[in-house]
A and B are shown apart, each in its own frame.
Chain A
Amino acid sequence: NAGVMQNPRHLVRRRGQEARLRCSPMKGHSHVYWYRQLPEEGLKFMVYLQKENIIDESGMPKERFSAEFPKEGPSILRIQQVVRGDSAAYFCASSPPRSGPNTGELFFGEGSRLTVL
């Protein structure tokens, strides 16, 4: 009964390289959310996806960041040409298809910690 799986847990990149973070939602969950936690800050919403659709990317930086959730396989958060300010913990969360009012209960993975040298 696996929870939300994220990999890699830790990723080190040099400035200018690309970072790819993967997230497999809980079984039966079709909604994926990505959050970022910068040092000494709370979690900030980045993007909300359903299978093959980006529903809300209002929290994504305008450049270098992209996300996808293909029909098959995990959701991917991609950061191109990383800079030191991208160093953070990136959390993926999932939720089941909604059958009632949103209550805010999300199931989080353990996070991927990106360090940019």
Chain B
Amino acid sequence: DQQVKQNSPSLSVQEGRISILNCDYTNSMFDYFLWYKKYPAEGPTFLISISSIKDKNEDGRFTVFLNKSAKHLSLHIVPSQPGDSAVYFCAAILSGGYQKVTFGIGTKLQVIP
């Protein structure tokens, strides 16, 4: 039962253009949605999050959009840089209890110089 789905295993984008990574979820009880970034041979690092009561959160070049009615969120990276090349995991959490995070399978982003 995959509650967080990333249907695109990979994405290639030219440097300077926008990268859009998509994510769908099935559990309407999730309270927070997150994106983690992972480089090869490293652990995931937190990138940006959004509360379920918001529809947009922006942090520098990174913006996350949430569409609750569609159970869909997306991460926009503008402008994309070669250093953004990594695997991006969409994730979600229920705020009650503890930090048990549910992850998607990831999308590998390649930014071409």
Which A residues are closer than 8 A to B by beta carbons? Answer: 4, 31, 33, 35, 40-45, 48, 55-56, 91, 93, 95, 98, 101-111
Contacts and interface: CB of A to CB of B under 8 A. Distances in A.
Listed residue (A91, A101, A106, A107) with the most chain B CB atoms within 10 angstroms of its CB: A106
Contacts of B106: 42
Interface of B: 4, 6, 31-34, 41-46, 49, 89, 91-106
A91 B99 contact: no
Given A103-B49, A104-B101, 4 more contacts: A33-B100, A33-B101, A42-B89, A110-B43
Given A56-B100, A104-B32, A105-B34, A91 B44 contact: yes
Contacts of B97: 102
Contacts, number: 81
A12 B41 CA distance: 16
18 contacts: A42-B6, A42-B89, A42-B105, A45-B100, A45-B102, A48-B99, A56-B98, A102-B31, A102-B32, A102-B99, A103-B34, A103-B99, A104-B32, A104-B33, A104-B101, A106-B46, A108-B44, A111-B42
Contacts of B41: 110-111
A48 B100 contact: yes
